[in-house]
């Protein structure tokens, strides 16, 4: 199999109490106050967008038509334990109009497709709930 580069995201971060971040294409330009909750929010946004695309691909592979408007509410928590920091994630997924068993199959399949899910697999606790 030949690898094909699909996209490269480029960002610039400057730190300190008045830190900021911006993307190379100008679509993101935000302040990063201390502590940096924006990091967890941005991670949740990026993962959710990718995850929806993965569910759409899983549905297409199974010849299932998804209704308009699949949704993911992500909660990314930063935790500390004895001076060690770690993340946890909760993805609440809404696939209205799809049989619950089929929807559950799609959200499980999406974890095998989504690069963010693959990157976090076995590294952080992830709870996925069909709502």
Among 55, 74, 80, residue whose Cα is nearest residue 126: 74
pLDDT at 18: 76
Q: Tell me the domains of the chain and their CATH numbers.
A: 1-34 (no CATH), 36-130 (3.30.300.20)
Structure-token match 């995850």, residue found: 51
Q: pLDDT tens-digit profile of 5-33?
A: 989 999 998 876 678 889 999 999 988 87
pLDDT tens profile 111-131: 999 999 999 999 999 999 999
Which pLDDT band holds residue 35 (cuts at 50, 70, 90)? low
Rounded to whole angstroms, the Cα distance separating 48 from 60 reads 18
Arithmetic mean of pLDDT over the chain: 92
Q: What is the pTM of this model?
A: 0.87
User: What is the pLDDT at residue 33?
Assistant: 75
Q: What is the pLDDT of residue 72?
A: 97
Q: Are 116 and 47 in contact (CB under 8 A)?
A: yes
pLDDT, position 56 = 96
Q: What is the pLDDT of residue 16?
A: 66
Instruction: Look at residue 17 in the predicted model and tell me its pLDDT.
Output: 67
**Residues 46-77: pLDDT tens digits?**
999 999 999 999 999 999 998 888 999 999 99
Q: Which residues pair with 20 in a beta bridge?
A: 14, 31
């Amino acid at each position: 199999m030949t690898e094909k580069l699909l996209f490269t995201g480029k960002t610039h971060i400057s730190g300190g109490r008045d830190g900021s971040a911006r993307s190379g294409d100008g679509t993101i330009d935000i302040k990063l106050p201390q502590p940096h909750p924006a990091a967890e929010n941005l991670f949740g946004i990026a993962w959710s967008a990718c995850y929806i695309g993965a569910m759409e691909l899983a549905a297409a592979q199974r010849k299932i038509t998804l209704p308009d408007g699949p949704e993911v509410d992500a909660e990314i928590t930063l935790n500390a334990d004895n001076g060690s920091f770690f993340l946890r994630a909760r993805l609440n997924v809404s696939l209205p109009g799809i049989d619950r068993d089929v929807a559950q199959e799609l959200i499980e399949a999406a974890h095998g497709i989504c690069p963010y899910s693959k990157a976090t697999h076995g590294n952080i606790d992830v709870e996925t709930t069909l709502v």
